[in-house]
Structures are given as C-alpha cells and as structure tokens.
A and B are shown apart, each in its own frame.
Chain A
Amino acid sequence: MISIKPDFCDLSFANDELLGIEDYESSKARWCSGCGAHTILHNVQQLCRDEQLPPEKTVFVSGIGCSSRFPHYMKTYGFHGLHGRALPVAGGIKFRRPDLNVFVITGDGDCCSIGAGHWVHAIRYNMKMVVLLFDNSIYGLTKKQTSPTSPLGIHTNTHPRGSVLPPIHPIQSTLGFSNVSFVAQTVDWKPAHLYATLKKAYDHPGLAFVRIVQRCPIWMKDSYEPVVKDPNAITLLQHENGIVIDSKATQKFHNLKEHDPSDLIKARELVETTKDTTPIGLFYQNKEATRYDEYGAHNMGISAEDKTEAINTLMDKYAI
C-alpha cells in the first residue's frame, strides 16, 4: 500500500482569499490634495497587493515629516518614530527578524539632514529593505524651510534672500557610500515608472535606495510645475537589467539614455552629465554586496540548553 503523508498535498492555501488593495488601506491620508505622496502611497499598496505581502509580516518605518505619516495609512505594522532616525530602527527590526518585509519612508530633511549620519551607514550595512526617499526639496510639515536638497536661490522662511548653498544630490551621495548595492530614481507623476521602480527595489536582495522626486504643490509649486509639464525635463534610463516599462509607456518619454546599472563609475558620471534634466531609472545595482543582516542572523533561535551552556562556559572562566 502506498503511504501518503497527510501534508503531501496541502491545498489549504486554496481557501485563503487573495488580498486586495483595501486590505492594505488604513485611515484616509491627511496629505494636502495634489501632494505627490498620495500617488506613492497608492503604488506601494498596489505593490503589496501584487506581491501578496502578508500585512502582519510587513513593517513600514518612518521618521518625522510629511512623508513620515505614511505608516499610519498602511494596514500593516508601522513605526513612526523620531526625526532622522528611521534607518537605525529599521536596522534593529531587520537584524533579528529576517522574516519581516521592511520598508523605510523618509524625507529629504529626515534622511539627508538630521539623519545623514545614519544614511551613510545604512547603505553600508546593506540589510534587505526598501528605502524610499520622498524628496520634495523643502520642509513641508514645518512650513517651508530650506532643505538640504532645495535648489539654489529659492526663497524660504529661513532664507529670505534665497538659499545659498548648493543642494546635496542624494543619488550622487549614495553612489559614493561604501557597500552601496541599489540606487534608483523616479518621480511621483510617472506612475508606471514609479511602480516598476518599486517592484525592482522590492526584488533586490539588499538595501534598495530609491529617491522619488515628489511634488509639494503647497510650498514648491513654482519649482515642480514647469518640470512636470515639460516632457524634456526627464531622461529615461534604459537597460535590459534596469527598470523596464512597456514600450507604450516608453514612447511618452522624449529623452532616452542607455545605462548599464552594473557600472558604478558610469553611474556616478551619469549624475554629472544629466544635470539639466532629471534622469529616472536604475543607476546602480550589485546583488553581491555584503549584507549585515546575514551577519546579524547568526545563531538565532538556539535552544535554552545551548544558551545555558554558553553562559556556563563563560562563567567557568571566573570560577574560583
């Protein structure tokens, strides 16, 4: 007689209903109408649905700022913590919980100003997570102060004569950090590209850093409106290993540029040579970069007996 293990043909999943977008939606987002964050939220929820991420195994971690309200709008676990400090918290979560999907939502002030020290190191730790930098180049929540990515000369409540310092370019900076493994850029008003970028970032085995150029119609209307309206303002990076959108969507772009994302030096040059437009796509990817979460998961879940033995062995050194 053939014996069949009871779990040989486990069809229980067949009873699970597929999750829909509404299963990832929490309270209504309180961003201003027309804010680019709404589109990003919707695309992230779509990604969660398409990947069928279990909401209980998914964590959105943020700092402080307009963007950082994001976790409250997701029906997953969320951590809305301190200004600039989302990355160390996300690292702490992922270090011993490899089973969780970790997303970090951060803004230009949060990531590139108060939290800049953590940004450098989070890239270096390269733990598996998706970091979304919502870059609107202004402090929105606190009502229009200069951000480290604000364009030269814009008038803000803290720089009435216009900002004087050259902005940080988050892509250029990240490409310069040690152990960098995934750097992409997209804009909130090109949803097909935004979605494809999120998907590529989610599939990356290490830390995927995505800068999303985000509209703030309240404080940065003058800066973004011309860019949004001008089809020449964006350059689409193309490569078979890059972020691929369908040919119909591609046709809508006027400027196309071939770029191989495995070439770090070229990626750095690209930032310099495309200064007049906003290049979107995958700048760099290295799936082999060292991962600190793999180091952190060492000896997880060992038994109480093994723990006791390790402690006693150490204690023996002090025995008299």
Chain B
Amino acid sequence: METTSESIHSETIGMERKEIKESIIEIVSDSGEGAQKCGQSLGIISAKMGNGVWTVEIIPSEIRPPARSREGASGIRVRMGTDKITNMGGHADMVVALNEQVLYGRIKQQAYKPGTYLLIENKWATHTEETKEAYEQSIKEFTELGYNIIEIPMEKECLKHVSDARKGKNMWVLGLLSNIYDRDLKLAEEQIKAIFSKKGEEIIQNNLDLLHAGYEYAKDNLPMHFSIPTKKRQGDYVVMNGNEALSLGVMSAGIEVCSMYPITPATSATHAMAAALENAGGIIHQAEDEIAAIGFAVGASFGGKTAVTITSGPGIALKTEFIGLAVMAEIPLVIIDVQRGGPSTGLPTKVEQGDLLAVLYGAAGDAPKIVLAPSTIEECFHYIILARKIAETFRSPVFVLTDANLATGVQPFPRPKVNPEWFPGPLDQSKWKEGLRAYDWDPNTGISKRPIPGQKGGMYTLTGLAHDEESHVAYQPDVNQRGAESRSRKLAALGNTLKPPEIHGDEKGDLLLVGWGSTRGAIEEAVDMARKNGAKVSSIHLRFLSPMEPGIKEIFKNFKKVMTVEINYSDTVGQPLITEDNRRYAQLAWYLRAQTLIDVDCYSNVYGQPMSPIRILERIEQELGQTLMD
C-alpha cells in the first residue's frame, strides 16, 4: 500500500473498532462512475441496520463535465448515526475520491475540515507525466490543508475481478466502506442483488466479488475502523427519498390522474410510481407541455376525478394562468412543486426555496391559494393525502412545495398503514338537489358544492370569468366582490382549523428562527447546539404557508429578534447601494413582515446547497454575540 508518511492516523491496522455516534461520508467521482448508487446503497443498508440516515446528492454544475476536472464533482453525501438524522450536517469525516481533481470543488465549498480522511484513487500517480504532476501537486496541497490522506489502488484491485474498473469501482468502494463502518455484509449483498436483478447472474456475481474484495482490502490495509451503534426500532420502517414518498402519497391519496411534463427535479417522482399507479387505478399522463399538463388535470377534476400535476419552478411559471382559473372556478387540484434553483431555468438539480412568493401570489389578479410545505421525507408522503382532502373539501388548488433537497434525500420513517379512507369516495352521480346552484357559497366558510358531469339537474358552465352563484358571467358590479369575498373566506375557514406551530425550544428568548420546508432538520440541530451552550434561541417551522397557522404574531412577540432561515436570495446590508431601507428580504421574511407587521430579518443564501447546521450556528453566534461552537 502506498501512503504518504504524514497521513496515517494514530490508529494502527487491526486496532479495535472505535465507536462513534455518527459519521458523514462523501463519495465523489466523475459522472457515470456510480458514486450515487454506492452512497444510496450505503444509506439503505445503514437504515436497515437501524441507523438514522440522510443522503444528499452532489451534482456537477454541467451535464457532462470533462472527466477528472475541477467542475466535475458528482457524487453523494451520506450522513448516518445512532440517532435520527434530519439533514446533511456540516463537514465530512470520510471521503472516497475516484480522482483527486473532483475534490477541489468540495474543498471550495468548505465541505471538509482538517482531519477528514481522504481516500484517493492512486492510479493517477503512474499516469502520463502531466497527470502525475497534477496528482502529486494535489496530494501536497491536501496534506498542507491537514487532511488525512490515504492513497488506494482502487483500479488495480478492481481489475483483479472485472475487466472494466470504471464500471466496478462503486461496488468495491461499497465493500471498502462497509468494512470501515462495520456494515452488515448480508444486507449489502441483498442490495447488490436488488440493484442488478435485471442484469443477470454474471453481473450480480461480479459485483458481489467486488463488494467482498473491497471489504477485504479495508480489513487488511486500512488503519481506521468504526462502529455506529444502532437503536432498535419499534414497528415497521421504510426508507426512501422525498420524490418516492411523494409518489406513494399520490397513490395513497387515491389520485386517478397524475399529469406532468418532464422537468428536473420533479420527474423522478412519476418514474417511481408509473407502473404501480396503474395497478392502483390511476394513470400518468405525459402532456405536450406544462400548460397542457395542468389543463388536463383541471379537466379531469372538472370531470369529478382527483388529479395532481407535478412540476418544478419553470413549470409553475407556465401553469400560472390555469392556477388562476382553478382558483376562480373553484377546481380541486393538487399541484406539487419540487423547487429547484432559479430564476428562469436556474440550477435544475440544485436546492432552492425560491418559489414561495410565486405560488402565493403568482396569478392574474388576486387569487388566494392554499400552500403546504412538508419538512421531512415522511411528510412528503402524508401531505399529499392531506392536500387532496383539502383541495376537494375547499374546492381549491392546493400547492405542496418541496425542493431538490427533499426530492433526493433518503430517510427512514415508520411505514404508513394505507387507509382506504384516504381514497376519495365513488364518483357522485346522484341527482343534483333542486334549487342548489354551482356556487352557492356558504356564508360562513365560502365553500360551495361541486356539481359533477353526470349529475342530473346540476348542469352549469364553469367559467374563468367573474360569475354569480349560477356560474353566469357577472354583469353587475357586486357579483365579483361577492365571489372574491367567498374565495378568501375559504382560506380563513381552513386557517381556523389549524393549530399554532410548535416551538422548538423555550417560548421566550433572544432569537427565534423561522423556517419552512427542507431546512427544518438543519435549523433544529443548530438551535439544539446553541441552546446547549447557553443561547436563548428557539425555532418554529411553518408547514402551512397559506393560510398560515394561527398565533404566529404572539409567538414572535416573545422574542427580541425573529429571523427566517431559508434558501433563496436576499440583499445584505453593507453592499454598495443597499441600505436597510431598500434591501430585499428573503421570501418568507418578506411575507411574515407583511402578515405580522413585526420586523422579521433573514439568513439566506443561494449556493445551491442545503442549509448546514454549522452555518446556521455561525449566524446565531453573530446575532447574539456569543461563542456557541463546541
């Protein structure tokens, strides 16, 4: 084994396993080398063993960056621990790099700290003169940065078992990591069999050989071995990413039409269910464009069927006109927006929470909408069922806002027990009650009954024009006012059924962090760290963005300062031309200021990265002027 002399950690080979509470592992490579498959497998094996897990994909900025380049880091981060894991965490502890160049981008993003183990493929040391030089230079730089470098002849080892190492390294690395972290080999074998089940016996055997070879290599050659104790779980669990959870949610909500147009990062949710949804009595319609996709769902809903359309930010922009129609004509519809970086086509594969104001306000005229934001993978499942129910009860479009972080993050959660009560009842084809009109808005709730084609006597012509109770186009001025009041009242009625958000921490204090969506785990972890060190900081997490949960203003009043934490853009005071008077706030902060008339500040950024607890903690330190890091 070739290693640089300084890089070996104090442990010696064969030393006893060190017990640790958690570890953050990254596998980085060029695209197409299977790093993500390796990491997801590691995550699933760990979840099955009983560990808490969260995975985040590391996606290069280009679709096919040149191989072995600094822009090319593609890969995955796996955070696993004894307790429940809710976010991607801070610095990595262990990195496996299939070439050394891909590390530069991650180093720039401050993903590693001195002491991080870097396990680097060393075949580049014996390559062409130019490559060799670059390799040596990198090793020198990494050593200076204080990383623990271990060079590994991955290709050489893989070639003992397969003819093309590029296609085999990932499972060899899985074996390597399985040994380092004492993973259950039986589960790893099962995982390989599942992944390659369609590829035939020979391929399965090759990959099993690679797994074992990686495992043995680590046992015989590496100096560090860890164990992460597991906790026994009560009951059945499932492990999946957010898009898979959405897809199961769509099925469990009894939705019959899932209408979409391909867009990253939303589309994989439809792949996950395409075949199964048909067996559950639903079907995916791939429309000719985003507008047609929502139009089709609107039509299906008018026909009495439950429908969902799934998209990402640029798709929402195109769907906006139909969203306004759904509000005006009171069409029940679930709209899933798996947000990505923006504006425009932005960062297709990266995380951002930049669509909040667009979904709240983006439509012609004043169109009140219902907006929910799940904060965990588990909630991605349950919120679709909830959204379908709300949509039909309130005859309204309901948004479910998730993001790229939830879409690809993998987390275990208790297996939901599918309840047929979640499904909509049979199509109502009973005779329409005489005298009842299509828009007889209830004076208290604003809700009216929905006539469904096939119902005798219920005939009406739905219209996007202002209309009266009979759906006749409004020619009198008061009709539009009446309709607008009723549509707004529906939100108030729904709001009255909600409970105030739970406070994570004390009810009073110096600083309250407010989050929504996928940032919850990172915010709560930062708050916990800060509180451990004496900070008077708490957090709340909003799941209903419209209508908002009640009591928020009262909660805010008990804190000296309120600050949102979110992944979208805001100005920083102190930049040229920007002052406290003209700065732009992050989206939730902007919205909360308007709703509560309280001065809500924000911590936000758009690096395309999930929020890390360490960064949030740094910001808490700044706000409170206290040192809070361990």
Q: Spell out A's residues near B (CB within 8 Å).
A: 26-27, 54-57, 59-61, 71-72, 74-82, 85, 87-97, 99-100, 117-118, 120-121, 296, 298-302, 304-315, 318-320
Contact B460 A78 (CB under 8 A): yes
B52 within 8 A of A: no
For window 51-95 of B, CB contacts with A under 8 Å fall at: none
Contact B295 A299 (CB under 8 A): no
Q: Which residues of A sit under 8 angstroms from B301, Cβ to Cβ? A: 92
For window 251-268 of B, CB contacts with A under 8 Å fall at: 251-252, 254, 256-257, 259
Contact A307 B281 (CB under 8 A): yes
Contact B423 A121 (CB under 8 A): no
Contact B460 A77 (CB under 8 A): yes
Give the CA-CA distance A299 to B257 in the complex, in Å. Answer: 12
8 Å CB contact of B295 from A56, A92, A309: A92
B455 within 8 A of A: yes
Q: Which residues of B sit under 8 angstroms from A314, Cβ to Cβ? A: 248, 251, 273, 276
Q: Which residues of B sit under 8 angstroms from A304, Cβ to Cβ? A: 420, 423
Q: A80-B462, A313-B276, A320-B48 are in contact. Are A72 and B473 (CB under 8 A)?
A: yes
> What 7 A-B pairs come out closest when comparing CB atoms?
A92-B299, A78-B461, A88-B295, A310-B279, A92-B296, A89-B299, A310-B280
8 Å CB contact of B459 from A77, A96, A308: A77
Give the CA-CA distance A91 to B303 in the complex, in Å. Answer: 10
Q: A71-B461, A85-B322 are in contact. Are A320 and B280 (CB under 8 A)?
A: no
8 Å CB contact of B44 from A121, A300, A320: A320
Contact B47 A92 (CB under 8 A): no
Q: Mark B284-321, 1 if CB is under 8 A from A, else 0.
A: 01011101110111111111110100000000000001
Closest A residue, CB atoms, query B241 = A318
For window 319-335 of B, CB contacts with A under 8 Å fall at: 321-322, 325, 329
Contact B300 A56 (CB under 8 A): no
Q: List 7 A-B contacts (CB under 8 A).
A: A55-B459, A87-B292, A97-B303, A100-B303, A100-B453, A310-B279, A319-B237
Q: Which residues of B sit under 8 angstroms from A313, Cβ to Cβ? A: 276, 279
Contact A318 B288 (CB under 8 A): no
Q: A95-B285, A320-B47 are in contact. Are A312 and B418 (CB under 8 A)?
A: yes
Closest A residue, CB atoms, query B416 = A315
Q: A72-B473, A100-B453 are in contact. Are A88 and B299 (CB under 8 A)?
A: yes
Contact B256 A96 (CB under 8 A): yes
B158 within 8 A of A: no
Q: Mark B589-613, 1 if CB is under 8 A from A, else 0.
A: 0000000000000000000000000
Chain A interface main SS type: helix
Q: Which residues of A sit under 8 angstroms from B273, Cβ to Cβ? A: 314
B271 within 8 A of A: no
Given A88-B295, A91-B292, A320-B48: 8 more A-B contacts, CB < 8 Å: A56-B457, A81-B463, A88-B288, A96-B303, A301-B281, A314-B273, A318-B238, A320-B412
Give the CA-CA distance A120 to B287 in the complex, in Å. Answer: 12
8 Å CB contact of A91 from B252, B299, B457: B299
Give the CA-CA distance A76 to B237 in the complex, in Å. Answer: 50
Q: Measured between C-beta atoms, what is the minimum distance from B153 to chain A in Å?
A: 34
Contact B240 A318 (CB under 8 A): yes
Give the CA-CA distance A220 to B297 in the complex, in Å. Answer: 37
Q: Which residues of A sit under 8 angstroms from B280, Cβ to Cβ? A: 302, 306-307, 310-311
Contact A311 B248 (CB under 8 A): yes
Q: Measured between C-beta atoms, what is the minimum distance from B310 to chain A in Å?
A: 15
Q: Which residues of A sit under 8 angstroms from B295, Cβ to Cβ? A: 81-82, 85, 88-89, 91-92, 118
Closest B residue, CB atoms, query A96 = B305
B465 within 8 A of A: yes
Give the CA-CA distance A55 to B432 in the complex, in Å. Answer: 13
Q: Spell out B's residues near A (CB within 8 Å).
A: 44, 47-48, 236-240, 244, 248, 251-252, 254, 256-257, 259, 273, 276-281, 283, 285, 287-289, 291-293, 295-305, 307, 321-322, 325, 329, 412, 415-416, 418, 420, 423, 451, 453-465, 472-473
Contact B257 A82 (CB under 8 A): no
Q: A315-B238, A315-B248 are in contact. Are A92 and B300 (CB under 8 A)?
A: yes
Contact A85 B291 (CB under 8 A): yes
Q: Which residues of B sit under 8 angstroms from A60, Cβ to Cβ? A: 461
Q: Which residues of B sit under 8 angstroms from A87, Cβ to Cβ? A: 292
Contact A307 B239 (CB under 8 A): no
Contact A93 B303 (CB under 8 A): yes
Contact B415 A92 (CB under 8 A): no
Q: Measured between C-beta atoms, what is the minimum distance from A112 to chain B in Å?
A: 16
Q: Which residues of B sit under 8 angstroms from A74, Cβ to Cβ? A: 461
Contact B238 A320 (CB under 8 A): yes
Q: A77-B461, A298-B283, A307-B423 are in contact. Are A92 and B298 (CB under 8 A)?
A: yes
The residue among B289, B295, B307, B455 with the most chain A CB atoms within 10 A of its own CB is B295
Contact B453 A59 (CB under 8 A): yes
Q: Which residues of A sit under 8 angstroms from B251, Cβ to Cβ? A: 307, 310-311, 314
Give the CA-CA distance A82 to B363 in the complex, in Å. Answer: 13
Q: Which residues of B sit under 8 angstroms from A72, Cβ to Cβ? A: 461, 463, 472-473
Q: A27-B472, A89-B298, A299-B279 are in contact. Are A81 and B325 (CB under 8 A)?
A: yes
Give the CA-CA distance A80 to B418 in the complex, in Å. Answer: 38
Q: Measured between C-beta atoms, what is the minimum distance from B302 to chain A in Å?
A: 6
Q: Measured between C-beta atoms, what is the minimum distance from A309 to chain B in Å?
A: 8
Give the CA-CA distance A116 to B456 in the complex, in Å. Answer: 34
Q: Which residues of A sit under 8 angstroms from B259, Cβ to Cβ? A: 92
Give the CA-CA distance A314 to B249 in the complex, in Å. Answer: 11
Q: Which residues of B sit under 8 angstroms from A318, Cβ to Cβ? A: 238-240, 244, 248
Give the CA-CA distance A59 to B300 in the complex, in Å. Answer: 12
Contact A88 B292 (CB under 8 A): yes
Give the CA-CA distance A304 to B252 in the complex, in Å. Answer: 10
Q: A95-B296, A307-B423 are in contact. Are A299 and B278 (CB under 8 A)?
A: yes
Q: A88-B296, A89-B296, A314-B248 are in contact. Are A57 and B459 (CB under 8 A)?
A: no
Contact A61 B299 (CB under 8 A): yes
Contact A319 B415 (CB under 8 A): yes
Give the CA-CA distance A312 to B238 in the complex, in Å. Answer: 11
Q: Measured between C-beta atoms, what is the minimum distance from B19 to chain A in Å?
A: 22
Q: Which residues of A sit under 8 angstroms from B281, Cβ to Cβ? A: 299-302, 306-307, 310
Closest A residue, CB atoms, query B249 = A311
Closest B residue, CB atoms, query A101 = B453
8 Å CB contact of A82 from B238, B240, B321, B457: B321
Give the CA-CA distance A319 to B254 in the complex, in Å. Answer: 21
